[in-house]
Chain A
Amino acid sequence: MRSVSAEEFRHWREEFDAAAKRPLRTRFRYAFIHTYKPVLDDAGYRSFDTMEDYRAWCERELPSWLGYGR
């Protein structure tokens, strides 16, 4: 895992303080986004018996740049 600089850490905490001042409804508006994810968004329904099955499917089927692989 990458290391975090003291400056970056301080900046994050400022962001957390600022976010805490906004109402939840406002935070929601900026937090949930809508972008197309290839393969993942190409079926309306999927189900997996185990999480391991799901993880294996992600590794096998999804483009690596989506970040779902291990």
Chain B
Amino acid sequence: MAAKFEYAQAEEIRDVFARHGVRYLFLGKSGAILLGFPDTTQDADLYVEKSPANGAALVVALDELGFVLDDVRRAEIRRGKDFVQLKDGPFDLDLVFAPDGIERFGDAWDRRVQIEGFPVCHPSDIIASKAAANRTKDRESLPRLRAFVDWWLEKHRR
């Protein structure tokens, strides 16, 4: 288990991933927190586009961030297994290539929100993903998260 995730590390993800052209979005509670949701979480969830080129770029970016990846891990990340959990790097990171409740990366990308340069899933996608996952912890957090999304949409209505 790595140390707690810091803003500087989020900046590193943003900058290193941008440099290598990795297509990804912050998802889950970490995405909601970037949007302004006042709550707590432990790790960052990244929705990563599943493609050979993006997988290869992701591995290079993770190397640069300090994640130690052996050949098996590299191959699995390049291939885009649906869910990869990294807990022995500089910070904990969940890579999600096929999140529940979101059909296509391209659609989520088109709906994304940019917060200080961080690409974040649209709040409605974050809700859809949590509702589809339907774990106990999701059911507990959804009423407050839905209230936040309603609040956020009011504030960002054009």
Contact = CB atoms under 8 A, between A and B. Distances in A.
Interface of A: 1-2, 4, 9, 12-13, 15-16, 18-20, 24-25, 27-37, 41, 43-51, 53-55, 58, 64, 66-70
Interface of chain B: mostly helix, strand, loop or mixed? mixed
Interface residues of B, number: 48
A2 B151 CA distance: 19
Contacts, number: 126
B15 to A, nearest CB: 15
B85 A45 contact: yes
B18 interface: no
A35 B6 CA distance: 15
Contact of A31 (B40, B134, B144): B40
B36 to A, nearest CB: 5
